[in-house]
């Protein structure tokens, strides 16, 4: 099966309303074009310079999502065109995205990344910390970013019940923010990757980020 077939198969399998982000980090532009020709338009990258280079050489109607940890000094590379940043893990980063968005005359959509995995190494807000941040309403000061929802990465484990527990907690946090007046545009719950996307969708995900299942094994992360 080729890349295009993989896209078509996945799209057929995902329920209506679940957006597929094809995670193309580390793969060459030719691979992205194959997915594009099969109808895929949303691609996820984790390195700003790599995303910028691919954006420059690929069709203009591709919608680029930043899914990896983002350093403040690299926001400038992607601010002119990025559609959605999934990985906002601090107020400082949000402030910089806002600053760069103003500079570009844009509003940039973002998700807040929540740390749900058991591993210490993963990035993201602690759930309690994020509740306090949201309750304080500080993000409202940033006029050129729009909070669209939450993102999480589950623990990498065979233990489906643990992963289900992590996705469920993120879903509950998302529902809580939705109920507490985050507005109608707070509508995106990004969770699920190659190994756990079916479980994520069962737990309420409406955006999955899938790389290796589409493009094959990666040589480096």
Q: Which CB atom, from 147 or from 214, has the smaller least distance to ligand PLP?
A: 214
Q: Helix H segments across 38-90?
A: 48-57, 75-78
Q: Which residues bind ligand PLP (CB under 6 A)?
A: 23, 25, 46, 67-68, 153, 193-195, 209-213
- What is the C-alpha to C-alpha distance for residues 46 and 30, in angstroms, rounded to an integer? 18
Beta strands in 34-182 (DSSP E): 42-45, 63-66, 84-88, 108-114, 145-152
Least distance (Å) between residue 86 CB and ligand PLP = 7
Least distance (Å) between residue 16 CB and ligand PLP = 21
Q: Which CB atom, from 10 or from 127, has the smaller least distance to ligand PLP?
A: 10
Q: Which CB atom, from 94 or from 192, has the smaller least distance to ligand PLP?
A: 192
Least distance (Å) between residue 40 CB and ligand PLP = 14
Q: Which CB atom, from 112 or from 193, has the smaller least distance to ligand PLP?
A: 193
Q: Are 210 and 194 in contact (CB under 8 A)?
A: yes
Beta strands in the chain (DSSP E): 19-23, 42-45, 63-66, 84-88, 108-114, 145-152, 188-191, 207-210
Show the tokens assigned to 187: 């509508």
Least distance (Å) between residue 73 CB and ligand PLP = 20
Residue closest to ligand PLP (Cβ): 211
- What is the C-alpha to C-alpha distance for residues 206 and 170, in angstroms, rounded to an integer? 12
Least distance (Å) between residue 192 CB and ligand PLP = 8
Q: Which CB atom, from 95 or from 213, has the smaller least distance to ligand PLP?
A: 213
- What is the C-alpha to C-alpha distance for residues 201 and 207, in angstroms, rounded to an integer? 8
């Amino acid at each position: 099966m080729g890349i295009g077939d993989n896209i078509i198969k996945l799209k057929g399998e995902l329920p209506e309303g679940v957006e597929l982000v094809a995670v193309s980090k580390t793969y060459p532009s030719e691979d992205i074009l194959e997915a594009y020709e099969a109808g895929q338009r949303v691609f996820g990258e984790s390195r700003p310079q790599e995303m910028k280079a691919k954006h420059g050489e690929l069709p203009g109607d591709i919608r680029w999502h930043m899914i990896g940890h983002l350093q403040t000094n690299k926001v400038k590379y992607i601010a002119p065109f990025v559609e959605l940043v999934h990985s906002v893990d601090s107020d400082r980063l949000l402030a910089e995205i806002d600053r760069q968005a103003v500079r570009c005359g844009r509003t940039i959509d973002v998700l807040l990344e929540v740390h749900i995995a058991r591993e210490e190494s993963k990035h993201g807000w602690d759930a309690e910390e994020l509740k306090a941040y949201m309750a304080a309403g500080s993000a409202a000061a940033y006029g050129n970013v729009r909070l669209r929802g939450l993102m999480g990465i589950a623990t990498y484990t065979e233990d489906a019940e643990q992963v289900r527990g992590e996705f469920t907690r993120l879903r509950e946090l998302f529902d809580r923010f939705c109920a507490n007046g985050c507005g109608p545009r707070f509508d995106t719950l990004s969770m699920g990757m190659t190994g756990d996307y079916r479980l994520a969708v069962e737990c309420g995900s409406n955006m999955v980020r899938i790389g290796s299942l589409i493009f094959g094994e990666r040589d480096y992360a």
